[in-house]
Chains A and B, each alone.
Chain A
Amino acid sequence: MKALRRLFAAGSDRELPAPTAPGSPLAEARGLGIRLGRRQVLDAVELTARAGEVVALVGPNGAGKSTLLAALAADLPAGSGEIRIDGRPAADWSPPELALRRAVLPQSAALSFPFPVEDVVRMGRAPWAGTAKEDEDDVAVASAMEATEVTRFAARPFSALSGGERARVALARVLAQRAPLLLLDEPTAALDLRHQELVLRICRERAAAGDAVVVVLHDLGLAAAYADRAVVLRDGRVAVDGPPAEVFTGELLGEVYRQPVEVFPHPRTGAPLVVPERTR
């Protein structure tokens, strides 16, 4: 019966997300363990992303950052423990309801057909079709494209863009979705210096507007400069979780990355700078 109703009701029975209070948890992992194949990728992970904060997930390759992000996105079921999104177990939400609550930027942006850039960004509005917020579509698309500086090639086909341009279009799509929880998997990987900063500034702005942002980063300097909290993963476990200025110590990072590093405060801002120890 419920399935039948869902089949025919196009959006009318979706529960719209309630306004989020600052500091309320939008994504939680409780004792989360996930096995992929025979490998225990995550083990007893505790993580909370609250409204209004930017959380950076950092750690060496294969530490489980992307898996954790996928679990928070409800892509992967919890093997053990629990994932909660917007206060409810992830499995209890229907796909359309989840789409109103969390937006996800995948590591690589692909597209099977050469849709024009603006259409790609507009795809981010699909979850709102048939709801009262459908009226915001044009504004949401335009402001997301402006924020990521892709308005200039709105009419170009996605397939004609460079890697960095594609990454920004994908981010614009995610921003246009206007979900209160943003999960970004290496949003800066393909970007130049200017656009890396731009993306992290957008993260900060969204957090200031009351969203929770979880972002996987490789650049510890970026994480230190922009994140409220950094969660350092090591072999599927949380090594440390706290403000970057407190948890980014040479000792911890050197051990986690198996590469000696030096950490010193920026002469002007005081944010920690992380530099590998080099002989010359």
Chain B
Amino acid sequence: MTATTHDTGVVKDASGGSGEDSAPGTDTPRRRGNAFVLTVALSAALLVGCLLSAGLGAYHIPLGDVLSSVQHRIGLGGHALDRVGESVLWNVRLPRVVLALLVGASLGCAGALMQGVFGNPLAEPGVIGISAGAAVGAVGSIALGLTFFGNWTITVCAFAAGLATVLLVYALSRSGGRTEVVTLILTGIAVNAFAGALIGLFIFFADNAQITQITFWQLGSLAQATWPKVLAVLPCAVLGLLVAPFYARKLDLLALGERPARHLGVDVERLRIVLVLVVALLTAAAVAVAGIITFVGLLVPHLLRMANGPGHRFLIPGSALGGALVLVAGDLAARTVADPAELPLGVLTALFGSPFFFWLLRRTRRRQGGWA
């Protein structure tokens, strides 16, 4: 084979060479260590967040009681709480925490994937209208009183509409194998406007009870969390979260552009189809139960990229973890800050996310020297 001769084929040229500079590869273990530390820190913070969220609220449950009740339920000793405490913990708090975990992980992961597929750090399901598209499906199914899939009806409708929207945005915002920032954002505006109009139409034809349901749902909230709702999104979220990490290496290569990725052996068409499906799954899972929660998928991957570089092998699972953390913490804040009233979660994330998005836009423009 030609391999041995390749080694001798290196041009020996002393002047511009780099004998004493740090050898390539020295920073890789450091970054791997960095990723490990980040993963542990995120997981620990997430665990703490979950425990706090399970205990805090109008009915306070001490941390020890939360732990022992959980121990009791999984048969590792501990003890059951009194009737009210047990009911609050298991029927109100925990479904809500689990739902926050699932929705947050889905949003974070979907954001990281979309940015990879579009090759654009500003792509996010909320910003470019995928969430709104999925919402059209969800609102439609509520307004029309559809029940053909039972508990899963809203999720299925959100998925179908979300998928159609991703495909539409993808087709509209790409030209010549690239997605310009401006095209992407403008496409998002158009799609959001159209989806808003459709949602408005559905609300116009809905009756009062449905309107109340839709309005609460639209604000983006986990207030109506129940175990059946958790079950309704669990398959979508878990499937999406499990599939996504397998495409990390290929997404790295896609950063070079479509043709170079193909030159390195990536079947770009198939990669794109699979990932668009996964994004639609994850977005649908989040939107179907929690309404439109924006900016989580933008903020989390971006912060992680700043902390550990753009490699997708950490970014995808890391964004899922980070998204879950943000949503668990956000939901805890939403229901405790204005106690006893409850802030809508979507309003809270938008409140913090929008300024960040604005900063990101400014920075991107500065780096590119204006919009191309």
Contact = CB atoms under 8 A, between A and B. Distances in A.
A126 interface: yes
B266 A95 contact: yes
Contacts of A103: 263
A154 B21 CA distance: 9
Given A111-B255, A154-B24, 4 more contacts: A112-B254, A116-B27, A149-B18, A210-B2
Interface in B263-318: 263-267, 305, 309-311
Interface stretch (A32-40, A54-62, A134-142, A264-272): A134-142
Nearest first, the 4 closest Cβ-Cβ pairs linking A and B are: A99-B265, A113-B310, A112-B119, A151-B18
A129 to B, nearest CB: 7
A273 interface: no
Nearest to A129: B249
Nearest to B249: A126
B228 interface: no
Interface string A90-132: 0000111111101110100011111110111101101101000
Interface string B1-13: 1110111111101
Contacts of B311: 115, 119
A88 interface: no
Contacts of B16: 149, 194
A155 B309 CA distance: 11
B214 interface: no
B259 A106 contact: yes
Contact of A211 (B2, B18, B22, B260): B2
A142 B23 contact: yes
A127 B25 contact: no
Nearest to B5: A209
Interface in A18-73: 19-20, 73
Contacts of A188: none
A95 B10 CA distance: 28
B260 A106 contact: yes
Interface of B: 1-3, 5-11, 13, 16-18, 21-25, 27-28, 119-121, 249, 252-257, 259-260, 262-267, 305, 309-311, 367
A27 B96 CA distance: 61
Contacts of B119: 112-113
Interface stretch (A78-86, A197-205, A224-232, A255-263): A197-205
17 contacts: A19-B1, A20-B2, A112-B119, A112-B254, A113-B119, A113-B255, A115-B252, A121-B24, A127-B265, A139-B7, A143-B7, A149-B17, A149-B18, A152-B18, A201-B11, A205-B9, A205-B10
Contacts of A119: 252, 309, 311
A155 B264 contact: no
A80 to B, nearest CB: 23
Contacts of A118: 24-25, 27-28
Nearest to B27: A155
Nearest to A133: B3
Q: Which of A126, A206, A210 has the most CB of B within 10 A?
A: A126
Contacts of A211: 2
A138 B25 contact: yes
Contacts of A75: 259, 262-263
